[in-house]
Structures are given as structure tokens and as C-alpha cells.
Structure 1
Amino acid sequence: MERLIQADGQPHYGIFKSAPKQVNYRDFDFRSPMGRRSGALAKWRRFHQFQYFGVISDELIGGCALANLSLVGIGFVYLFHPASGRLLQRQFKLPLGFGTVFSQTPDDGVCELIQGRNRLRLENCAATGEKRLLVELDDGLRIDARFSEREPAFQPMHICTPTAVNGWVYAQKVAGVRCRGQVRSALGNFDLAALNAFAHHDWSGGYMRPETHWNWACLSAQVGDVRVGLNLSCGVNETSFSENCFWLDGELLKVDGVRFQFDRDQPLHPWHIRSGDGQVELRFTGEGMHRERLNLGFLASNFKQIFGRFSGELRPLGRPVVPIDGIWGFVEDQYAKW
């Protein structure tokens, strides 16, 4: 698919085998809920885009995200050291996105935030299938991490769903891929390949609900002889189609709708995550959390990403059960108004 938005101004909807070469949102026939056509300013104001790169291992957990919310560019990065319980984290907010660059080509191009001597950079290369995270901060923290969707072969989730009365969301997700690279920080220096680290990746963009909420879960690990990845959500990307899935040795297996049960006031307490088709039965217990809160009235976010351990079972249809025993991963509780 060359472009996500068709000649009639409407997106391609569904789950795709490959990513569109361009998310050409400016060609979308964007209208008000009452059917009035919207101009270029409204298209710019309401289009939001995210990219996230996470790293999981027993010795080091990390995450970095960039977001283009039109009125503000946002970035964060954190590292968590399970053995010591130490957490390093930085957040950046740039009015009107000055100092940021966002590419609308999901499998190619660069998304970047620069503020002073701080750089967060996410590179996607169509020629090699490689995704790369580069972080350089003024306190000396440096992350250079990467993975390939081709070595070995991997089937990403590519999905586009309608949202509310006048929007859509395109997303592509990856989990359960080996990660390599280097980390230099106050927590120590790490070789990600030597840690047997895994990565996960999310590229999302579209006209999301003006006020929305979602939960999300992700894990990546080696379970016996099988590489396992998991991506589950509730509250977004669920109209007509769902992004819920897990991967076994890079093969994508779809999952029904999921229910997240947890105490919002105590997010480090156990979560229970179950799918309607019985393929997922998991318990998650948090070990640490990255949190951001922003309330400007017209723009608000209450974001909690918790890292911890999963236990339970994945029950792929017609296949042996995959036991999940103390595997590191993430859950998320997000409210957004934009």
C-alpha cells in the first residue's frame, strides 16, 4: 500500500500484511461531527502521532517515547535497574513542537526531539527493516539500541480502525524481537546483546478521540525454545478490528478483546488481564513506574507506565500452552484530552 488515505479521502481500514509507505493524513476528508469539512488548520490541530521503543531484560528495563500533539511536542526516556530498584528518567515538553521532527512514513524516516544538548531520536530504515533508538542527554546518559524485523523474520501488527464519528488511528506494533546495542548511564554500562535483551516498538498516528483512555500490556521474552511477544490493549484500536495479539517465534496470532482489572489508586498492586477467547490469562505485579501528569485545560494527560513481572499462561488455539513465569514487561494506564 502506497498511501493510507485513498483518493476519496478515506483511510484503508483493517489489518494489513505490511505498512503503508506513507500516512498521508493531510489528504483525509476530515469533517466535524455534523458533517462540515475541516480546513488545513483543523487537520493539523487534531492529528497526533507517537513512536515508542522499549527494552526488556532481567538486568535493565528502558523506554523512550516521542509524541507530536500539534500544540506541544513531548518526549521521555527512562531506565530502571531491577536489582537496585533505581530509576533514571527525563521528560521534555516543547511548545508547538519546536525542536522536533516527525516523519509520516512508519517504516522509514526519523522522529527526533532536540532540546539543548539533549537528543531523543528514533530511526526506521525500510531497506534493512531495522529500528534504532538513539538517546544522548546532557547528564551523560547514552542509549544506542536497535533490532531488525527481518533477522529472523517477524510479522508486525499493522492496523487501522475508525474512531469516534470522524476519526481513525493507524498503528503498527512489534514485541518479542532480540535487541542489541549499548547503554551508558549512572546505573552502569550495559551491552544489550550480552543481557539477552528484547525490544518492542509502537508507531501510531491519526485522529484519535478528543478525550480518551486506554490500558495496554506488553511483554517480550524467551520461553523455552520459543521467542514470545505480547501486545494487548483496551480502549483504543478496537472499532471493527483489534490490535490484540501475541507472537511465537515472530508469527502473529490474533487475540479476542481483553479485560484489565486493577486498582487505579495503587497501580503497583496486581493486575489481572484476561481475553474473551481464553488465550490470555495473566497476572502482573509492578516493580516500578514512569508517570507524567499534565493539565492545561484544553490539553491534559494522566499517564502511568508500570514495569514489572507477568505470570500466567498463553493458550494459542490448537497449540501447546506457553507458561509465563515471572517475565518482565509493561502495563499502561493512560487518560488523554487533546
Structure 2
Amino acid sequence: MDKLIQADGQPHYGIFPSAPGLINYRDFDFRSPMGRRLGALAKWRRFHQFQYFGLLSDELIGGCALANLSLVGVGFVYLFHPASGRMIERQFKLPLGLGTSFSQQPDGGTGELRQGRNLLRLENCAETGEKRLLVALDDGTRIDARFNERQPAFQPMCICTPTAVNGWVYAQKVAGVACQGQVSSDLGRFDLGQIGAFAHHDWSAGYMRPETHWNWACLSGLAEGRRVGLNLSCGVNETSFTENCFWLDGELLKVDTVRFAFDRDQPLSTWSIASHDGQVDLRFEGEGLHRERLNLGFIASNFKQVFGRFSGTLRPPGRPPVRIDQMWGFVEDQYVKW
């Protein structure tokens, strides 16, 4: 479809075979919970958007996110070296998003944050299917990472769900794709192709719940000679449809609702993650985390993204089970008021 919002002001809902060309959120018939039509200021204030690019390998773990929260632009980047346990991380918060720019094209355009001599940039090329992460920090850290959804063919998870009484969220997820490029930092120099790195990508936007919480899990890598990716969530994008799925060699396989069991006070301890339909039965052991806490009253966040290793089983219907053995991935525990 060319646009997510239809002529009547309502979104297309469902799981789509490909991304809409444009998330035309300004055309949404946005109303208060009591049915009053809301104007341009409310549409700007309540619309939120974020994009995330994750790197996974035995030699290097990384994550970079950009978020447009209307009143503030947010970005973070981190790199973790498993062999040494060393980590580099930076956080950025820009009032009113000054110094940031965001495209409303999930498969095209650029998201960017600039602050001083620091640059975080996420590029999506509609013509080639390439996703690219560029990072240049004032401490000399450089990341140039990319993957292609079309070579080999990959089926992204593209979903739009109703949210609360008057909103919606469009989300597009990719996991289990090989990554190319270079990383240079105080942790060393890495050729992502040579170290067998895999990538995860998340593009999400919409009128999300003003106060919400979610758990999320993702893994990417090789299992029994197959390219495997996983994307699971609980607490978000679950109204009528869910984003829960895994991929085998680029083929998307849908999963039912999932349960996360973990100790919130000890996020590096064991997590158990299982789906209602029995397709997913995993354990996760954390090895490090990126965390942020912010409480300004009108906006607040308690965010923990843990990186570590998954073990367990994926059971695609009618096929042999796939054993997951110490595969790198991420989990999240997040509360946010925005």
C-alpha cells in the first residue's frame, strides 16, 4: 500500500506482506477518548517514533536507537566486547528534538541525531532494500554497518495494531540477517562480515499508549546451519494481532502470545520466555546491559536492554525442532510515560 492512513482517516490494520510507502500520520482522524476531534498540535504531541539497529556476534555486541518523543529527541549507542567484558556507551537527549530528523517512510529515508561532533544516522534505501547504521562519536568511535533484506530474500514482520482507545502503532521488525561493515573504537577494529555478525532492525511509529510497559526479546544467528531470527513482545502491539514471530532462512513463521518470567530487580539473572502455542521455549542469561532512567513528571522512562545468550528450542509446526544453543540476543524491560 502507498499510505498507512486511508481516505477516511483510519489506518489499515493487520499484518502486511510489505511495508506501506508512507506513515502519513497527519491524515489520521485523531480524537480524544470522548470523541472530540483533535488538531495538529495534539497530533504532533502524541505521535512517537523510534528506530533501532542491533549487532550480534561472538566477538562484538552493539545497539543504536533514535527516538522522536515530540518534546525530546533521544538517542543511544553502545558496544560490548564479550571477551574482555568492556563496554562503550553514550546517551543523548535533545529538547524538542532539535538536532534530529526522522523520515516517515519505513523502507526509505533517514533518521539522524547530531550533537556537537557526535552523529547517529540510520539510512533505509527503498530501491536496494539496504538498511545502514552510521555512527561517528567525538571519542573516535565509528560504526558503518549494513544489511540487505533482498539478498537473500527476507520476509519482514510488518504490522499495524489499534492502541488503547484512540491510537495505533505501526511496527516493522527484522532479525536473522547477516551484517556487513566495520566498527572501530577503543574496543578494537572489527570487520562485521569476517566475525559473522548478524543484525536486528526495528522501525516503529504511531499514537502509542501515553503510559505503557513492555518486554521484548530478539535473537539472530546460525543454528544447525540455518539463519535464525526471533522477535517477541509482551505488553505492546498485541491488540487484535501480535508481532511475535521467528525466521528460518528468511521465512517468517508466526507465533502466538508469549510469557516473560524474570526478576525485575536482577535483570542479568535467568529469563524464561515461552509462547502459548509451544513454538518457543527459551532461557536467556544476561551478560551486560544498557539502562536509562528519566523522570521529568510529564515524561518518564525506566529502560533496561540486556544482552546475553539464549538456549532452548523453536518448534515450527510440521517441521523438525530447531535447537538454540548459546545464541546472542537481547531482552528488554521498559516502562515509559510520554
TM-score normalised per structure 1: 1.00
Matches for 1:70-89 after TM superposition, within 5 Å: 70-89=70-89
Q: Which residue of 2 aligns with 1:157?
A: 157
Matches for 1:76-155 after TM superposition, within 5 Å: 76-155=76-155
- Give the CA deviation at 1:144: 0.1
1:255 aligns to 2:228 (yes or no): no
Which of structure 1's runs of 4+ aligned residues deviate more than 6 A?
none
User: Letter of the aligned partner of 2:296 in structure 1?
Assistant: L
SS of structure 2 residue aligned to 1:41:
helix
Residue range with higher mean Cα deviation, 205-214 or 217-226: 217-226
SS of structure 2 residue aligned to 1:140:
coil
User: What CA RMSD, in Å, does the superposition of the two structures yield over aligned residues?
Assistant: 0.3
Counterpart Cα distance in 2 of 1:58 and 1:225: 16
Q: Which residue of 2 aligns with 1:319?
A: 319
Structure 2, unaligned stretches of length 5 or more?
Answer: none
User: Can you list the C-alpha shifts for 1:172-215, whole angstroms capped at 9, x where unaligned?
Assistant: 00000000000000000000000000001000000000000000
1:49 aligns to 2:29 (yes or no): no
Counterpart Cα distance in 2 of 1:114 and 1:320: 48
- Give the CA deviation at 1:254: 0.1
SS of structure 2 residue aligned to 1:265:
coil
Counterpart Cα distance in 2 of 1:191 and 1:285: 26
- Give the CA deviation at 1:86: 0.6
SS of structure 1 residue aligned to 2:31:
coil
Q: Which residue of 2 aligns with 1:286?
A: 286
Counterpart Cα distance in 1 of 2:260 and 2:201: 21
Counterpart Cα distance in 2 of 1:240 and 1:48: 21
Counterpart Cα distance in 2 of 1:156 and 1:184: 29
- Give the CA deviation at 1:55: 0.3
Identical columns (%): 81
Q: Which residue of 1 aligns with 2:59?
A: 59
User: Letter of the aligned partner of 2:271 in structure 1?
Assistant: W
Instruction: Give the conservation status (yes or no) of the 8 Å contact 2:224–2:323.
Output: no
Structure 1, unaligned stretches of length 5 or more?
Answer: none
Q: Which residue of 1 aligns with 2:204?
A: 204
User: Letter of the aligned partner of 2:103 in structure 1?
Assistant: S
Q: Which residue of 2 aligns with 1:16?
A: 16
Q: Which residue of 1 aligns with 2:274?
A: 274
SS of structure 1 residue aligned to 2:138:
coil
User: Letter of the aligned partner of 1:212 in structure 2?
Assistant: T
- Give the CA deviation at 1:269: 0.4
Q: Which residue of 1 aligns with 2:219?
A: 219
- Give the CA deviation at 1:21: 0.3
Q: Which residue of 2 aligns with 1:298?
A: 298
User: Can you list the C-alpha shifts for 1:201-236, whole angstroms capped at 9, x where unaligned?
Assistant: 000000000000000000001112210000000000
Counterpart Cα distance in 2 of 1:275 and 1:217: 12
Counterpart Cα distance in 2 of 1:50 and 1:17: 21
SS of structure 1 residue aligned to 2:44:
helix
SS of structure 2 residue aligned to 1:43:
helix
- Give the CA deviation at 1:161: 0.1
Instruction: Give the conservation status (yes or no) of the 8 Å contact 2:224–2:322.
Output: no
SS of structure 2 residue aligned to 1:229:
strand
Counterpart Cα distance in 1 of 2:195 and 2:217: 22
TM-score normalised per structure 2: 1.00
Counterpart Cα distance in 2 of 1:303 and 1:20: 29
